A and B are shown apart, each in its own frame.
Chain A
Amino acid sequence: MDRTFHPRRSRRLVPLVALAAASALLVAGCSSSSGGKKSEESSSGAAAGKADTPRMTVAMVTHQGSGDTFWDIVRKGAEAAAAKDNIKLVYSNDPSAGNQANLVQNAIDQKVDGIAVTLAKPDAMKEVLGKATAAGIPVVGLNSGVDDWKKLGLMEFFGQEEGVAGEAFGKKLDEVGAKNVVCVIHEQGNIGLTQRCDGVKKTFGGKTQTLYVNGTDMPSVKSTVTAKLKQDSSIDYVVTLGAPFAMTAVQSVADAGSKAKIATFDLNKELTGAIKKGDIQFAVDQQPYLQGYLAVDSLWLYKNNGNYSGGGEQPVLTGPAFVDKSNVDSVAAFAAKGTR
């Protein structure tokens, strides 16, 4: 064995060298003349000077699952506010309620100067938020929990009511003359997503159906939506609850040979292009960047000037804002930076 080993090793080097040479050639000769990083415009963040107040620490604890474009935008807003306010931002997230509560406890243990938290499962957060209040740490809510933030002793709340957004969506569907709508839920059992579809159902005059798809597998999302459109050919609007799913629904509609139009909740940069092209009719935007930014900035304002938005009584609503062909141009530039 050992004797044959050495000559074999040198022979093995040959394909490696060949591969390296081939890759070098590829790198030299295969540049793309269109698209890519080079064509992406250099973007600067929305930095507006910097506060000279003493450095403080703010913890943001959300129920984000990993790899979701929506939460990325929330976090960018929070980071922009932190950079401006001389704040050290500690971001953490866990979709399971128990783990999220532990992360809040972790923030309390770190003796942070403020906590911004989402209340996707308010009951699970009750006890730990009581501890935060007892420790004298100001807590603000964002994104989800518009019905519960006051009960749980939070100071302020920034977000949109999912039900209200759904209701606004339903009214808009009536305006554009939809008759039979399918609401595509990409995560079975997610309360916020269910509330959106329920809101649509509440105000929309026509028929609303629900469809569950497997959000972690795009080909499966595509074929399931196609199947639904074929099963019920009278569907004239597909409503998705996240931007990437709306983009996939465009292909499903084409595959099914359906005439259905598409509208969605939430934005990203690919979606603004699709609205411009007319592939997607409109998107309702809850302005996640604003939620992250305001939550962090409000803690700075409270510490340095004793302010609180909404007077501790009313939530600060960041949505629903509609983006359609009429205003997409003004939004597209910000979406390209990943902040809208």
Chain B
Amino acid sequence: MSDQAAPAVSAPPASGPGARDGRTARRPLALRLLARPEVGVLLGAVAVFVFFFAMAPAFRSGSAMATVLYQSSTIGIMALPVALLMIGGEFDLSAGVGVITSALTASMVSFQLTMNVWVGVLVALVLSLAIGAFNGWMMVRTGLPSFLVTLGTFLGLQGINLAVTKLVTGNVATDDISDMDGFTQAKALFSSSFTVGGVQFKVTVLWWLLFAALATWVLLRTRYGNWIFAVGGNKDSARAVGVPVKFTKISLFMLVGFGAWFVGMHQLFAFNTVQSGEGVGQELIYIAAAVIGGCLLTGGHGSAIGPVFGAFMFGMVSQGIVYAGWNPDWFKAFLGVMLIGATLINLWVQKSATRR
């Protein structure tokens, strides 16, 4: 790697357009690429892909890829706002049950009031944004760590999901809303499929990529994106240069609320009913996808495209084990080992890329 920089030093200064001064020598393109937060995870994902492609014959078909992408998309849509929040220096433990809260709300509002399901969908959106706003407001107002605030919200929502569902429906699951007005349109938006080359893909995959593109643009090209990096890097200096720290943090939590709403609506319109006990533990998977995707737990560093690969890797590992037909008793153990392995590859790539 140094052999490329060496001739540049001996070359006469400013002798032509290709010449470089040794002090400002640009590091080779490959190294510069490797230093980006998402490249490590991309290589990890490629490694996992190649591994399962070789090990599991069933993994090689287009429809298997559609299944993997579907699983990845439901994790990935949530991993995006979770990652942005993490770049902004905070995280949200209530994200997993928040998804179910949103789905339960939409279902119960429509069913109990016998309304068009879109009414429920909108009420759920307002509620999800409000939960995010509450988390953010509570945090900036009290100065408590986001771990504590969102742990409280997590436990609270878990209890409310169960108790309110039981109170309203008399059961622990919501009623089937598939025969109600507006269901078909809502299903088309949140949970339909489309065919490409004879393979059926779920629409969530498109939404996932669209949101990822949007998040990347916001992060890299807008003032708001700068604010996110600033508040995650150093809150006080950010405030000193005029970044609206409180607004940025609260809005990031609301963004997580939006993600929870979207995934919640997908679940509702894909499965018609929602069980109130679901969602627990999912928050850690979202956070894992973001971390694998190169977002630092301490904030200030990361990307929006990294978590896309993080979620994709999670989907590949969890489905790949099944495609490979391995002894299912070891399922979780395989998952853990592969994830740590992939994260290490990610780490190693970044380290060797930024060493010089």
Cβ–Cβ < 8 Å partners of A26 in chain B: 115, 119, 122
Are the CB atoms of A36 and B177 closer together than 8 Å?
yes
For chain B, give the interface size range. Answer: 35 or more
- How far, in angstroms, from A38 to B114 measured CA to CA in the complex? 6
Q: A66-B277, A216-B278 are in contact. Are A231 and B119 (CB under 8 A)?
A: no
Q: List residues of A (45-100) whose CB comes within 8 Å of B's CBs.
A: 65-69, 71-72
Please name 16 pairs of A and B residues whose Cβ atoms are closer than 8 Å in the assembled complex, sorted by A.
A31-B114, A35-B178, A36-B112, A36-B113, A65-B277, A67-B165, A69-B171, A72-B166, A72-B172, A188-B332, A210-B329, A212-B328, A218-B275, A227-B323, A230-B63, A257-B63
A281 contacts the other chain (CB 8 A)? no
Classify the secondary structure of B's interface with A: helix
Shortest C-beta distance, A226 to chain B (Å), equals 5
Are the CB atoms of B323 and A230 closer together than 8 Å?
yes
Stretch in A244-252, A293-301, A303-311 touching the partner: A244-252
Are the CB atoms of A32 and B180 closer together than 8 Å?
yes
For chain A, give the interface size range. Answer: 35 or more
- How far, in angstroms, from A182 to B271 measured CA to CA in the complex? 21
Are the CB atoms of B275 and A32 closer together than 8 Å?
no
Stretch in B67-75, B83-91, B228-236, B296-304 touching the partner: B67-75
Nearest first, the 7 closest Cβ-Cβ pairs linking A and B are: A67-B277, A36-B114, A35-B180, A30-B116, A35-B179, A223-B71, A32-B181
Are the CB atoms of B182 and A211 closer together than 8 Å?
no
Q: A26-B119, A230-B67, A244-B275 are in contact. Are A36 and B180 (CB under 8 A)?
A: yes
Cβ–Cβ < 8 Å partners of A23 in chain B: 122-123
A32, A36, A72, A222 pick with most chain B CB within 10 angstroms: A32
B248 contacts the other chain (CB 8 A)? no
Q: A34-B180, A223-B319 are in contact. Are A232 and B325 (CB under 8 A)?
A: yes
Q: A27-B115, A220-B71 are in contact. Are A188 and B171 (CB under 8 A)?
A: no
- How far, in angstroms, from A31 to B319 measured CA to CA in the complex? 41
- How far, in angstroms, from A224 to B316 measured CA to CA in the complex? 11
A324 contacts the other chain (CB 8 A)? no
Cross-interface CB contact of A227 among B266, B282, B319, cutoff 8 Å: B319
A236 contacts the other chain (CB 8 A)? no
Are the CB atoms of A67 and B276 closer together than 8 Å?
yes
Are the CB atoms of B282 and A66 closer together than 8 Å?
no
Shortest C-beta distance, B241 to chain A (Å), equals 18
Chain B, residue nearest A209 (CB): B328
A268 contacts the other chain (CB 8 A)? yes
Are the CB atoms of A188 and B271 closer together than 8 Å?
no
Q: A30-B116, A216-B278 are in contact. Are A227 and B64 (CB under 8 A)?
A: yes
Shortest C-beta distance, B159 to chain A (Å), equals 8
Are the CB atoms of B170 and A338 closer together than 8 Å?
yes
Chain A, residue nearest B332 (CB): A188
Q: A35-B177, A270-B273 are in contact. Are A211 and B328 (CB under 8 A)?
A: yes
Cβ–Cβ < 8 Å partners of A219 in chain B: 70-71, 74, 266-267, 270
- How far, in angstroms, from A256 to B64 measured CA to CA in the complex? 9
A217 contacts the other chain (CB 8 A)? yes
Shortest C-beta distance, A70 to chain B (Å), equals 9
Q: A26-B122, A32-B181, A255-B200 are in contact. Are A224 and B318 (CB under 8 A)?
A: yes
- How far, in angstroms, from A211 to B323 measured CA to CA in the complex? 11
Are the CB atoms of B61 and A230 closer together than 8 Å?
yes
Are the CB atoms of B275 and A223 closer together than 8 Å?
no
- How far, in angstroms, from A232 to B59 measured CA to CA in the complex? 11
Q: A35-B180, A68-B277 are in contact. Are A218 and B331 (CB under 8 A)?
A: no
Cβ–Cβ < 8 Å partners of B118 in chain A: 30
Are the CB atoms of A216 and B63 closer together than 8 Å?
no
Are the CB atoms of B318 and A220 closer together than 8 Å?
yes
- How far, in angstroms, from A189 to B61 measured CA to CA in the complex? 32
- How far, in angstroms, from A72 to B174 measured CA to CA in the complex? 12
Q: A30-B115, A219-B71, A255-B67 are in contact. Are A67 and B172 (CB under 8 A)?
A: yes
A2 contacts the other chain (CB 8 A)? no
Cβ–Cβ < 8 Å partners of A31 in chain B: 113-116, 181
Cβ–Cβ < 8 Å partners of B329 in chain A: 210, 212
Cβ–Cβ < 8 Å partners of B56 in chain A: 231
Are the CB atoms of B116 and A223 closer together than 8 Å?
no
A37 contacts the other chain (CB 8 A)? yes
Q: A36-B114, A212-B328, A231-B325 are in contact. Are A27 and B180 (CB under 8 A)?
A: no
Q: A66-B276, A217-B278, A230-B58 are in contact. Are A244 and B63 (CB under 8 A)?
A: no
- How far, in angstroms, from A124 to B310 measured CA to CA in the complex? 41
Q: A37-B114, A211-B322, A227-B322 are in contact. Are A72 and B180 (CB under 8 A)?
A: no
Shortest C-beta distance, B35 to chain A (Å), equals 33
Q: A30-B118, A219-B71, A248-B271 are in contact. Are A72 and B171 (CB under 8 A)?
A: yes
Cβ–Cβ < 8 Å partners of A210 in chain B: 328-329
Chain A, residue nearest B179 (CB): A35
A30, A188, A257 pick with most chain B CB within 10 angstroms: A30
- How far, in angstroms, from A31 to B266 measured CA to CA in the complex? 22
Are the CB atoms of A66 and B162 closer together than 8 Å?
yes
Are the CB atoms of B172 and A68 closer together than 8 Å?
yes
A228 contacts the other chain (CB 8 A)? yes
Q: List residues of B (154-186) whose CB comes within 8 Å of A's CBs.
A: 158, 161-162, 165-166, 170-173, 175-182
- How far, in angstroms, from A273 to B281 measured CA to CA in the complex? 31
